Structure 1
Amino acid sequence: MTEEPHRSRRMQILKAHPEVTKLMGHEPLTKWVVLLVVSIQFLTALALRNSSPYSPLFILAAYAIGGTANQNLFLAIHEITHNLAFKGIKANKFLAMFANLPIGIPYSVTFKKYHLEHHKQMGVDGVDTDLPTNLELLLLNNVAGKTFFCTFQILFYALRPGLVRTQKLTGWHAINILIQLAFDACLVHFAGWRPLVYLIMSSFFAGSLHPCAGHFIAEHYLWDGLEQETYSYYGPLNILAYNVGYHNEHHDFPSIPWTRLPALKTLAPEFYDTIPSHPSWPMVIVNFIRDNEVGMYARLKRKGKEASQVIASTANCPVEVSNGSDTETSDSDSKKSN
């Protein structure tokens, strides 16, 4: 029945360091990084159009290049979801759809609503679709089950939200689907089906046993008997992942873009240097699988309608979601609310 920790820490940091608001706002660099990574994936897919998907070259490229690139694009969409690439909401939505293209399956619009609910009502059972379901707890809470989960994480994150909390389709969903299907059809028509196989295989590897995929588990699973709901990671893989490792910082201030999250940590060391963080994403995967003290159950869960109401009434996010439709605020409005 307690609120998630990020609002409380945000209020404390704002009081101690009011200049933190200067870090908020959009980041123009994001669109150029997205353009670069989309181009890399498109050119790599074309370069492999005559290679067999079963060949070592194809599989290695899909894992090393494609898995890394599509993980980057997953996190680009995460960043853009908070309206941090452009000032305008529509521009952010279309950039997210552009970043979605090499992923092969339309999901950027659907992800937005689920992710903002994750911020506003973190850990609330039946609302935060980042939480494992009871069926997952029952079937996967052993070494073999956790290995399966880590290998097929992308499928769990793709299918679980629709089973737990179905979204009402909107015009934006339709646009996302149409743009993605048109891109996929054009790619198959002009270059054959192998480039599309490469892109979808890249998405699978990005959410599988890939070093960067460790962030999925690192962010909110409980470790070492601590009731710490969010963990950060400050290692070099952040370079490939829009600094998503700065996860406490991101949840505390969703209006601060990826390039300025390290500055937030530097600004308020008394808040961030005093809490545990993960030293390695790959080792998070290994330890999650082999450690009997950590499993699918190791999440902090809030149950009941009352808990949802308590948290919803105190949560703060730069984008508000209500009644199945987006009601969004600009950066200036979110700064005021912060």
Structure 2
Amino acid sequence: MHRSTSSSTATASSTSASASASDSDEPDTRATTPGPDDQAAAASEPPFKLAGEQWAPNKVEPAQDHSDFLWQMNEEPHRSRRMAIMKAHPEVTKLMGHEPLTKYVVLFVTLVQLSTAWYLRSTPFFSLKFWALAYLVGGTANQSTFLAVHEITHNLAFRGVRQNRLFAIFANLPIGVPFAMMFKKYHIEHHKFLGVDGIDTDLPSRLELLVLNSVLGKAFFASFQIFFYALRPGFIRYQAPTRWVALNWLVQLSFNALVVKFAGWHSMLYFLLSSHLAGSLHPCAGHFIAEHYLFDGHDQETWSYYGPLNILCYNVGLHQEHHDFPAIPWTRLWKLKQLAPEFYDVLPSHTSWPGVTWRFITDSNVGMFSRVKRTQKGGRGDEGGGGAGAVKDAGGLKDE
């Protein structure tokens, strides 16, 4: 079992931490050499820390064993940081609630996918044009759709839970495979039980660690990770389907049948290929690895990315901020970061999603083992989403 010890700095080539002291914080230069009394006094003083530096990650000591995950006994950090931010900045509650703009973005992206599928209805599947459009347009659009469903799962498109559920089923249509309602069930647990082995199905299994712990294995995982995320829950933590899952399947399969009937199989294959490419070696797909894998020898289990690809992905790159406040919609996550810089500027962040994917594959110090796992079984039930009750509990994801 590994443990982590405090580190006064957290920097690396692929990450950045933006906290620094101003010139006025620097001590005056002494004209004489300090004597024994001065040295003793300096030794007795606590080390200087920047505001919020207690939230900086720890260095893993000794270095992590690549044959196992990083097992932690501590609680995940987001609940504690959320409480501290609410105490320091009580006005943060004004950022919570649904975002009406979401439904218009979803409608636009869905229209783009429907139009492109219709355009390709007579284009051969193995043609360059088909695959180029599926990668550039379809992969980007369906990655946006994946993250739209994620946003709607937190009840942030409409005020009511039922409206959000129905809209998530609609948003699911260009994906080709019904996933929205099952994703909601598992994603609730991802927030409530972050890193808990056997519950948080975002975590790789031990079998994945054993089989994919190589450059070739990691390349395979990155190329087909959408299938791992789709199939892993059934092996790790089965959940019985509900009437909403049944409705999701009924609507999706009916839509698929209509697509085949009126546009043909090429259009249907376009949707399916777009979904695969969206979760494969696509620039936006880097967020899957960037969000919770460990980098640079730190124990930081959630990472943010503040780059331009957030524009296409509902600002999911602001992942520290999202896990701290799941009740804040994508359009206001930047305001959260600006409101509480002392909590976020000290945290290392990624500078490139494609760079994260490349490093994950090629760096021997990063791999399937680079995840924090816990054995705790308790859940709090207050880490979920938005909607009408968001201000009351700062994010209780209501499922009914």
TM over 0.5: yes
**Which position in structure 2 is the counterpart of 1:240?**
312
2:377 to 297, 308, 311: 308
Residues matched between the structures, number? 322
Deviation at 1:167, TM superposition (A): 1.2
**Which position in structure 2 is the counterpart of 1:70?**
142
CA distance in 2, matches of 1:132, 1:84: 28
Residue 96 of structure 2 corresponds to residue 96 of structure 1: no
**Which position in structure 2 is the counterpart of 1:18?**
90
Residue 376 of structure 2 corresponds to residue 297 of structure 1: no
Deviation at 1:332, TM superposition (A): 4.0
Q: Residues 318 and 334 of structure 1 are in contact (CA less than 8 Å); yes or no, is this contact kept in structure 2?
A: no
Q: Percent identity?
A: 63
1:317 to 383, 389, 392: 383
**Which position in structure 1 is the counterpart of 2:391?**
335
CA distance in 1, matches of 2:392, 2:127: 55
Measured on the aligned residues, the alpha-carbon RMSD in Å equals 0.9
Q: Residues 222 and 357 of structure 2 are in contact (CA less than 8 Å); yes or no, is this contact kept in structure 1?
A: yes
**Which position in structure 2 is the counterpart of 1:268?**
340
Higher helix share: 1
TM-score, length-normalised on structure 1?
0.94
SS of alignment partner, residue 373 of structure 2: coil
Residue 119 of structure 2 corresponds to residue 47 of structure 1: yes
**Which position in structure 1 is the counterpart of 2:208?**
136
**Which position in structure 2 is the counterpart of 1:119?**
191
Deviation at 1:265, TM superposition (A): 0.2
CA distance in 2, matches of 1:263, 1:299: 29
Deviation by residue 1:261-314 (Cα, 9 ceiling, x = unmatched): 0000000000011110000000000000000000101000002xxx121xx13x
Can you give the 5+ residue segments of structure 1 that lack an aligned partner in the other structure? Answer: 320-329
**Which position in structure 2 is the counterpart of 1:147?**
219
CA distance in 2, matches of 1:213, 1:333: 32
1:87 to 155, 159, 171: 159
Can you give the 5+ residue segments of structure 2 that lack an aligned partner in the other structure? Answer: 1-72, 395-400
SS of alignment partner, residue 108 of structure 2: helix
Higher alpha-carbon Rg = 2
SS of alignment partner, residue 294 of structure 2: coil
**Which position in structure 2 is the counterpart of 1:225?**
297
Deviation by residue 1:105-161 (Cα, 9 ceiling, x = unmatched): 000000001011000000000000000011100000000000000000110011001
CA distance in 1, matches of 2:87, 2:383: 18
Deviation by residue 1:188-243 (Cα, 9 ceiling, x = unmatched): 01111110000000000000000000000000000011000100000000000000
Give the residue type in structure 2 aligned to 1:43: S
TM-score, length-normalised on structure 2?
0.80
Deviation at 1:163, TM superposition (A): 1.1
Q: Residues 304 and 317 of structure 2 are in contact (CA less than 8 Å); yes or no, is this contact kept in structure 1?
A: yes
CA distance in 2, matches of 1:71, 1:63: 11
